[in-house]
Copies of this chain bind each other. A is one copy, B any other.
Amino acid sequence: MKVGYLGPKATFTNIAVNNMFPKEEAIAFLTIPNCLDAVLEEKVDVALVPVENTLEGSVNITLDYLIHEVNLPIKGEITVPIKQHLMIHPIHMEHFDKMEVVYSHSHAIAQCHKYLHSEWNGIRCENTTSTAAAAQFIKEHPEVMGAAIGNELTAKEYGLTIIKRNIHDYDNNHTRFLILANKRIEFHSPSCDLQGYKTTMMVTLPADRFGALHQVLSAFAWRKLNLVRIESRPTKTGLGNYYFIIDLDRKIDDVLIPGAIAELEAVGCKVQVLGSYPAYAIND
């Protein structure tokens, strides 16, 4: 089986793939749309892309592309802890305290802001297009007295030495990834734990929209269907027009969820189930 993921190599998405699909062939794509299109074009069997991060919120391009461009069911999700490490070229091990500059993606630098400020006295930071690009630069420029911020896999992939582990400011930073495919997917991953099941649906409200949102939530509330997430995204037809993406914390059943959907449709909503799937997390 071929697994497409948002590259480049050694990103957190790559870590998600290695844990969920340890024995499959992993193929990196440069953008999220490229990765999703690759499933439709049958270049890969499965796509794995980020959908939400604790600090940044939703990955809008993933939601928008699933809503507007491709019809691709969600088959699973995997949550990965975001742990950042400081790494250098091995030849600088003896004098790593002489570092003058830190390279990484702007998000990774932001995630380590307090550490860099307190431990490295606000050292100069340079943005790169990815954490992998930072590691590659350090590897290829041993003459630069610089460090990169990246994950464990980045250090391994580019042969760098980690001089300080877990330099991220927030300990509870995680990213959720969606696994999308047109075929049945079996999960056998010893390094991931099943956390439960989710059902994700997209709801479009009728014209008198926001009393309608209350009505939508009522249909779930009286059935004690528990929403774990609600996110609005623009329909792109005008300011003030939204879709809602709703996650329930259970598998789709034969009675309650179909009953809620039937009621919502009867009051003028459009409802599309995007998937009903197991939710995994990497065991620590």
Residues of A within 8 A of B (CB): 52-57, 60, 64, 79, 170, 172, 174, 176, 210-211, 213-214, 217-218, 220-221, 226-234, 236-240, 242
Contact = CB atoms under 8 A, between A and B. Distances in A.
Of A52, A214, A231, A234, the most chain B CB neighbours within 10 A belong to A214
A227 B240 CA distance: 10
Contact of A231 (B210, B220, B221, B232): B232
A281 to B, nearest CB: 10
B210 A214 contact: no
A176 B239 contact: yes
The A interface, classified by DSSP as helix, strand, loop or mixed, is mixed
Contacts of A232: 57, 229-232
Contact of A214 (B54, B176, B221, B242): B221
Nearest to A244: B230
A228 B214 contact: no
A236 B60 contact: no
A143 to B, nearest CB: 29
A19 to B, nearest CB: 17
A57 B60 contact: yes
Copies of the polypeptide in the assembly = 2
Contacts of A214: 214, 217-218, 220-221
Contacts of A228: 210, 240
Given A172-B238, A176-B239, 5 more contacts: A57-B232, A172-B237, A174-B239, A213-B230, A214-B217
Contact of A221 (B60, B79, B211, B220): B211
A242 B57 CA distance: 9
Contacts of A237: 54, 172
Contacts of A240: 228-229
A234 B60 contact: no
A69 to B, nearest CB: 12
B79 A233 contact: no
B172 A234 contact: no
Contact of A239 (B79, B231, B236): B79
Nearest to A233: B57
Contacts of A52: 239
Pairs A-B, 7 closest by C-beta atoms: A210-B227, A214-B217, A214-B221, A57-B234, A172-B238, A174-B239, A55-B236
